[in-house]
Structure 1
Amino acid sequence: MAKAHTHGAGDHRRSTALNLLLKGTSASAAVSLLAEQEGISRRQAQRYVRAGYAQLQIDIEACGVDRVPMVAKLVHLLESTLVIAMESKQCAAAVGAARELRELLGLSADR
């Protein structure tokens, strides 16, 4: 059963989602962990993880992180994810990683 939502609980959940993302937890795993830990639905957990990503983006832009090392790290993570997904026959995860990689590198047909 879902726990009652308070503003404090929402702040805690957003913070937990952000911390999971900062630790390198995949979005899907972060959603699952948050839903289980907080006793909330996956849909609610997805909202908190999206909010965590948004906060992460704001923080990165605010501190002026050099994009080249960050992009290199993201490319590596996405390539690793793609390999693992293919090896475990997780086609949807492989397609998602490939799409993100394509978008990150600006390889979309519309560019």
Structure 2
Amino acid sequence: MSTDPLSLTFAALADPTRRAILARLSQGESSVKELAEPFAMSLPAVSKHLKVLERAGLITRGREAQWRPCRLDPGPLQDVSQWLEHYSRFWDQSLGRLDAVLREIGTRPPDEPGA
């Protein structure tokens, strides 16, 4: 598996459980036990998901006495957003050209060739 940051982020985001964990953490920090509650899986299984998210830099885990809170780190998501922005502009331009062609076709008189 590739270890470049963008690949690690996409690999982490590929799993719906990890995306759900990130959605939960976007509301504030949580313990592993709290994050595991909505899932029908063991705490060790949730911990494995958290390790993938942590390796991708999407979460951080702290230590406050007995509590080990997990926190969202939005940095890698910003990197993904910037990477996708290039393609968003590409599709906006492509669809804009298609729209112009369709408008041109739609404004031709019925007897005009190509209409």
Task: Give me the TM-score of the superposition, normalised by structure 1.
Answer: 0.35
Higher strand share: 2
Higher helix share: 1
Decide which structure has the larger Cα Rg and report it. 2
Task: Give me the TM-score of the superposition, normalised by structure 2.
Answer: 0.34
